Amino acid sequence: MIVLNFKLKFNPFTNQPLSNPNIFAGREQEIFYMIKSLFQTAKGNPKHVFVTGERGIGKSSYAKQIELIATGDRTLIDRIGIDTDRHVFEFISSKHTCTEGNSLEQIVNSLLETLKEKVSRIPKFNVKELDISFEINLGIIKAGINPKGQIEQVPSELINAFVSVLKQLSDKVMYVSEGLVLIIDELDKVVNTANFGSFFKALTERLIDKNVMNVSIVLVGINGTMQKLTEQHESVRRIFHEIEIPILNMEERKLIVTNALNEVKATVDIEVLNEIAHISGGFPAPIHLLGESIYDCDTDNHLDINDFRIGLDKVIRYIKKSELKDKLKGAGSGRYQQILRIMASYPQENVPLSHISQELGVDHPRQYSTNIRKLLDNDFIEKVELGIYKLKDKLLRTYILNVAMLEDDDEMGYDEDSDTNIIH
Ligand SMILES: Nc1ncnc2c1ncn2[C@@H]1O[C@H](COP(=O)(O)OP(=O)(O)O)[C@@H](O)[C@H]1O
Ligand SMILES: [Mg+2]
């Protein structure tokens, strides 16, 4: 009999950028670098950074932790053990997350709105006095793509207006804060629609011209965005120090799980930690996904291998089913599907081409080299060494093996004990 568990409990895992510093794992070097930059900015030597990395690697979460640190939260600093020589960070932060179609003007306005809102909450301030500085109408200034589809040069009015408001703000908040941190996340969504390279070059120079030395700009975007900015203006690389968020090592992967479970006083078997760490491939998102599902299945506050199996099964059969199905379909049809299925059902993760050739019934990998190349380009597989490849997404591998291949059989209408029921 299935015992239903209808008890409510808080689940510490999340699919959102991580705001809880107690769960945040790894990135010590990257955090320390940013703390040094903030410290320099606070002392009047402004530093700007560009946070880069693959989609889902944890860029927004890193930026969130930086924002917390900059505005005075010491949890992560103390946990990592960074000695700030009693310096207390007291920046005022503003963040804009770009969405497709955002203009430069909208981004600037959004950053200023947030700053205005935060500054107006500081008790000593006369909000009315500040409001004047926001009278500047950015509405008339347009920067974007012209009808011919060419990138327009950034109007200096926009930069002047932006800097003028930032100057007034930073002067006004000088006695209660050290400066301003401006964060622009998902810059990749908009980078092609305006000359952001020139914009940031001009903006950072203009700030210095106007003697605004306590503003730090943090840009966030997937790999390749920095390259585009540099093409737009070569000085970008000199102005923005690039911080790449790396893959998590085994210890860091496990730490996410134990940290999260610690928040709810739950424990976990080492075996489960190893499985989650392995299947994640070093990305934090699958760790949260599995953690959430496994913790949800658990009834005794201790996650064992049985909870893991049920939780993983729920992920591939329900929670992520349609996403994994679409991803698999996106690999292409025919031989692409055959190759992925052959690779998923091989007993080891590293699959020799000789095995694929044999299963496909061809003499030489040359006969399907186009398929292999495209699967490599689209990140479905990776090369381990000469003639040996593996599937990149381990969750997809589990899905192919346990769901997709069984459904193929259903769809193809094989009957249970027919001897044609062999997967090729
Ligand atoms: N250092 C970390 N420790 C624990 N969880 C993390 C960490 N970095 C990211 N995450 C989690 O991983 C997922 C993806 O992170 P996110 O910051 O949104 O990635 P990105 O912005 O690079 O696409 C989120 O669920 C987030 O909570
Ligand atoms: Mg992000």
**Residue nearest (by alpha carbon) to ligand 1 atom 25:** 15
Three-state secondary structure of 200-238: HHHHHHHHHHCCCCCEEEEEEEECCHHHHHHHHCCCHHH
Q: For a substitution probing ligand 1, which of 16, 61, 223, 292 has the most ligand atoms within 8 Å of its CB?
A: 61
**Residue nearest (by alpha carbon) to ligand 1 atom 13:** 285
Ligand 1 atom, smallest distance to 256 CA: 4
pLDDT in tens, 207-237: 999 999 999 999 999 999 999 999 999 999 9
> Does the Cβ of 291 fall within 6 Å of ligand 1?
no
> What domains, with CATH codes, occur in the chain?
28-244 (3.40.50.300), 250-319 (1.10.8), 332-412 (1.10.10.10)
Q: For residue 8, give both structure tokens.
A: 């409510």
CB contact at 8 A, 231 and 182 = no
Radius of gyration, alpha carbons of the chain: 26
Region class of 266: left (phi > 0), else alpha (psi between -120 and 50), else beta: beta
Q: For residue 171, give both structure tokens.
A: 């002067």
Ligand 1 atom, smallest distance to 245 CA: 22
Ligand nearest to the CA of 54: 1
Q: pLDDT of the chain along its 424 residues, tens only?
A: 555 667 899 999 999 999 999 999 999 999 999 999 999 999 999 999 999 999 999 999 999 999 999 999 999 999 999 988 888 899 999 999 999 989 898 999 999 999 888 888 877 666 556 544 444 454 444 444 444 444 556 678 889 889 988 998 888 877 778 899 999 999 999 999 889 999 999 999 999 999 999 999 999 999 999 999 999 999 999 999 999 999 999 999 999 999 999 999 999 999 999 999 999 999 999 999 999 999 999 999 999 999 999 999 999 999 999 999 999 999 999 999 999 999 999 999 999 999 999 999 999 999 999 999 999 999 999 999 999 999 999 999 999 999 998 887 665 544 444 333 333 2
> Does the Cβ of 253 fall within 6 Å of ligand 1?
no
Can you tell me the distance from the alpha carbon of 42 to that of 64, in angstroms, rounded to the nearest whole number?
19
What is the distance in A from the centroid of ligand 2 to the CA of 314?
Answer: 25
Can you tell me the distance from the alpha carbon of 16 to that of 19, in angstroms, rounded to the nearest whole number?
8
Query: How is residue 315 annotated by DSSP?
Result: I
CA dihedral 104, 162, 185, 131 (to 10 degrees): -110
Ligand 1 atom, smallest distance to 53 CA: 22
Whether the predicted model's global pTM rises above the 0.85 cut: yes
- The residues facing 317 across adjacent strands are none
Which spans in 265-386 are helix H? 270-280, 284-297, 305-314, 321-329, 335-345, 353-360, 369-377
What is the distance in A from the centroid of ligand 1 to the CA of 285?
Answer: 6
- For residue 191, give the amino acid letter: V
pLDDT in tens, 41-95: 999 999 999 999 999 999 999 999 999 999 999 999 999 999 888 888 999 999 9
pLDDT in tens, 144-181: 444 444 455 667 888 988 998 899 888 887 777 889 99
What is the distance in A from the centroid of ligand 1 to the CA of 13?
Answer: 11
Query: Minimal CA–CA distance to 63: which of 92, 34, 84?
Result: 34
> Does the Cβ of 284 fall within 6 Å of ligand 1?
yes
Can you tell me the distance from the alpha carbon of 131 to that of 124, in angstroms, rounded to the nearest whole number?
15
Ligand nearest to the CA of 255: 1
> Does the Cβ of 232 fall within 6 Å of ligand 1?
no
Measured CA distances, 182 to 40, 50, 191 (Å): 15, 12, 17
> Does the Cβ of 348 fall within 6 Å of ligand 1?
no
Q: For a substitution probing ligand 1, which of 14, 16, 18, 183 has the most ligand atoms within 8 Å of its CB?
A: 18
> Does the Cβ of 57 fall within 6 Å of ligand 1?
yes
Query: How is residue 352 annotated by DSSP?
Result: E
Query: Minimal CA–CA distance to 132: which of 164, 94, 86, 160?
Result: 164
